[in-house]
Structure 1
Amino acid sequence: MSEMKRKEEILVNISQVRKKKIVEKHGRLRPIFCGGCGHFAGLHAVYHMMSELGIENHQLVIVSGIGCSGRFPMFVNCYGFHGVHGRALPVALGVKLANPSLTVLVVGGDGDGLGIGGGHLPHAARSNVDITYILLDNSIYGLTKGQVAPTTPSGDVTSTTPYGNPSRPLDPVKLSLVHGATFVARGFSGRPDELNAIVVEAVKHRGFSLVQVLSPCVTFNRNETYEKYYEMTEPLPGERDLTDWDQAMKFASAGEKIYTGIFYQKPGVKTLDEFCVGVIRKVGEFDDGRITGSLSGKVENGEGKVVE
C-alpha cells in the first residue's frame, strides 16, 4: 500500500469518532495540526479515555510544554496548563500533589520531553507520581520546521543535519524502564484502536505511566513515515507477565522490530502522593491540628474553634 493510501486510511479511522459528541463536550476550537499529523490520534485517545473511564471535564488536568503538542490543553475541555519549554513534568507533579483527586496528564513531544526537559523524566519515574505522560514522538522538531531531535534516528537528514544525524537516538521506552516507571507502553498513531486501549490502561494505572506514541510528522519528517511504521511495528505477544522487567527490556531492545503495546506494569507500588499524605498525617501527630485538619476539610480558626 502506498504512503498516500496509508495516510488516507489513518484519516478515515480518526474521522469515525462521533464529531457532534466531541463538539458538544470539548467545543469547536479546531486543532492546528497539519492534515495527517499523528497527533490527531493522540487527541482522539484522550477523548476516548475520558468517555471510557467516565472522567468529567473538571476532573482532568492536561499539562503541556512546547512544540506542536503545546496547545493540546486547548483542544480538550478540561483544566490545562501550557508551560515553558521542558517543564511540563514538574508542573504536573505539583498539580497532582496539590490535589490528588485529579486525573493528571502530561502531553508533550520528544524534543520537549527528552531534550531540555529530559532531566525531569528520571525523577518523575522513580518517584512514581500518579500521572500519565503521553509522549508524542515524531522524531523531529516539527513546530520550528524540521530540526534534528533527541529521537531522530542516526543518519536521518534534517534541516540541521543535511549530511545525516551523527548521534544515536534516545529511546523513551528503555529510558523509562531503567528509571523505574511502573507502567511503560508504546503506541502508533496508525493503529488508533490499540492506542486508545493503551491510554485507557495507562490512566487506570496507579503510578507513573509513560506512553510513547509513534506520531509521524507528515510535513517536516520524510524519514519516519506511516509506511515505515506500518512495516516495522508489531504488537507485543499477548500472553506475557507484565511484571517481568527483564522481558520488557528484551522486547524494548529488539533490533529490527518496533514493538507496540504494554511493555511493563507493576501495580501496588506506593505513589508519591500517597507517601506525602502519609508524611502529613505523621507530622500531624505533633502539630495543633491545622495540618491534618486541612486534609479532612476541618481547620481551627483564630479562636481555637473547628470550622468546616
Structure 2
Amino acid sequence: MGDTTNGAVHNGRAYRPVGSDLGISALHGVPRTDSPQKAKDFTSDQEVRWCPGCGDYVILATVRTVLPQLGLKRENIVFVSGIGCSSRFPYYLDTYGVHSIHGRAPTFATGLAVTRPDLSVWVVTGDGDALSIGGNHLIHALRRNVNMRILLFNNRIYGLTKGQYSPTSESGKITKSTPMGSIDAPFNTMSLALGAEASFVARVLDSDRAGLTEVLLAAAEHRGAAFVEILQDCPIFNDGSFDALRKENAEDRLIHVRHGEPIIFGTDDELCVVRRGFGLRVAPITDVDRDDIVVHDAHSDDPENAYALSRLSAQDLTYTVTGIVRSVSRPTYDDQARAQVAAAVSDERADLQALLDGPSTWTVS
C-alpha cells in the first residue's frame, strides 16, 4: 500500500484514509453530549476496592474530572483493562468497560478502535500486566499507532499477587520472589515506548493532579496511540518507591518538560539540560551559556531528542523526566484499515474468485 498520508491507490483508484489528516483530534467523530457533565456522572455504583493510600485513588479521581471536560457521550467512551490492581478501573467508571485478560488489553482495544470510530478508547494497565506478559501487545499497538490512550500505572511491583518484583523494579530489589535482590535490569518505560515509535509519550506522578490533568487532556485529543506512564505508589508492597520525587528537594530531581520552553529545573531553577555529544546531560545553569540550554521540541518528527531525554531518567531517581516528551501526528492503523475496507467495498470490479485464487495459482494437469 502506498503513502496514505497523501493518498493511496487501490486497483487503480485513489483513496484517502478517513481521519488521516495530520492534526485531526481523536475526539473527531465521537458523539458529543448536549448537557454539561460532572465527575459524579462518571462515577459508578461499585465500591472502590483498593488498599488505603493507594495511588490508584488519585488517578481515578483525576480521570473522573477529566472525562466531563471532553464533552463526550458516556456510552461512546470505553475503558479496557487487563489483570492487576489497576485493572479494576472499568468497574468504577460509569462508561462502557472491558475487564479483559492478562496483558491483552491493547488487543481488545485495537478491535474496538478499528471497528468503532465513534468510540474514545482507553486502556488501563500496570507495569506487570503491560511490560511482562503483555509486552508484545503493547509495543505493537504503539508501533501501529492505533487510536487509543494507554495509561500505564507503574508502581514497580506486582501488587495483586502480593509483592513480587516486576519488569520496572530497580536492580537489587528485595521482594518475596527475590530475597537476595533482583538481578534483572528494569525497563526504562519511556525509552521502550519511544523505541516502539509511539506518537505520544508522557510521564507524570500520580500525586501531581494538575500535571496529570494536563497530560490526560492532551492524550484524549491525540489521534493515535497515546502512551502515558503514571508513577504510582503501592503503600503495601512498595511503599515510598517514589518518595524521592515528592519530598524535600524533589525539584532537584524532577525534570518537567514543556514544548517550546528551555529545560530548566531545580529548587531555584539552578539546573538545566544541555547537549553532550549525541546525548543530553544535566548541568548547573551558571556553567553554561543560555543559548546552550536545550529547548524542548515535543513535535519533532525525529525521536532522537525525545529518546535522549528519556535516558536522563535513572532507576535510582537521581533524575526523572516528566511531562509530554513526544507528540507527533502520523497515520493511524485503524484509519487506514477502514479506508482499505471502504475501497474494497466500493470497487465494482472486485472479483471474489480472483481474490480466493490469489496472485499465485497453478493448474495441475
Q: SS where residue 113 of structure 2 aligns?
A: helix
Provide structure 1 residue ranges, at least 5 long, that are not aligned to the other structure.
Answer: 1-20, 290-308
Alignment of 1:1-308 (within 5 A): 22-222=39-239, 224-225=241-242, 227-230=243-246, 231=250, 232-238=253-259, 239=261, 240-244=296-300, 245-254=303-312, 255=314, 256-267=318-329, 269-287=330-348
Q: Does the CA contact (< 8 Å) of 2:104 and 2:134 recur in 1?
A: yes
- Residue 9 (structure 1) aligns with: none
In structure 2, relative to structure 1, the CA distance for the partners of 1:237 and 1:53 (3 Å cut) is: closer
Compute the TM-score of the two structures, normalised by the length of structure 2. 0.70
Query: CA shift at 1:275, angstroms?
Result: 0.2
Q: What are the Cα deviations for residues 75-129 of structure 1, in whole angstroms up to 9, with x where unaligned? A: 0001110011111010000011110110000001000000100011221111111
Q: Distance in 2 between matches of 1:49 and 1:22?
A: 8
Deviations 1:134-184 (A, max 9, x none): 000101000111001010011111111112111111122111101111000
What's the secondary structure of 1:224's corresponding residue? coil
CA displacement at 1:24 relative to structure 2: 4.6
RMSD between aligned alpha carbons? 1.8
Contact 1:42 1:136 in 2 (8 A): no
> Partners of 2:209 and 2:52 in 1: how far apart?
16
For residue 193 of structure 1, report the CA deviation from its aligned partner. 1.1
Structure 2 Cα separation of the partners of residues 209 and 76 of structure 1: 20
Q: CA deviation at 1:223?
A: 5.5
CA shift, 1:257, in A, is 0.6
| Cα shift at 1:192 | 1.4
Work out whether residues 50 and 56 of structure 1, in 8 Å CA contact, stay in contact via their aligned partners in 2.
no
Please state how far the C-alpha of 1:287 moved relative to its aligned partner.
4.6
* 2:311 partner amino acid: S
CA distance in 1, matches of 2:188, 2:65: 26
> The residue matched to 1:177 in structure 2 has which SS?
helix
1:48, distance to aligned residue in structure 2 (A): 2.2
Q: Distance in 2 between matches of 1:52 and 1:223?
A: 32
- SS of structure 2 residue aligned to 1:120: helix
Indicate conservation of the 8 Å contact 2:44/2:91, yes or no.
Answer: no
Distance, in Å, in 1 between the alignment partners of 2:56 and 2:207 is 10
Opposite residue 245 of structure 2, the aligned amino acid is Y
CA distance in 2, matches of 1:32, 1:40: 9
Give the stretch that moved more between structures: 238-247 or 130-139. 238-247
Report the CA distance between 1:222 and its aligned residue.
Answer: 3.5
**Separation in structure 2 between the aligned mates of residue 81 and residue 27 of structure 1, nearest angstrom:** 14
The amino acid of 2:342's aligned partner reads R
Q: Which amino acid aligns with 1:266?
A: V
For residue 298 of structure 2, what is the amino acid of its counterpart?
L
Counterpart residue type for residue 148 of structure 1: Y
- Tell me the distance in 2 between the aligned counterparts of 1:25 and 1:216: 24
TM-superposed CA distance for 1:203, in Å, is 1.1
Q: Tell me the secondary structure at the aligned position of residue 71 of structure 1.
A: helix
Q: Which entry has the higher C-alpha Rg, 1 or 2?
A: 2
Tell me if structure 2 keeps the 8 A contact 1:156–1:223.
no
After superposition, the Cα gap between the structure-2 partners of 1:34 and 1:183, relative to the gap in structure 1 and judged at 3 Å, is: same
Q: Which amino acid aligns with 1:155?
A: G
For 2:230, the aligned partner's letter is V
Distance in 1 separating the partners of 2:220 and 2:189 = 18
Tell whether the 8 Å contact from 1:57 to 1:79 is kept in structure 2 after alignment: yes
What's the TM-score once normalised by structure 1's chain length?
Answer: 0.83
**CA distance in 1 between partners of 2:223 and 2:198 (Å):** 11
**How many residue pairs end up in the alignment?**
268
- Matched position secondary structure for 2:85: coil
Q: CA distance change for structure 1 residues 102 and 132 in 2, over 3 Å: closer, same or farther?
A: same
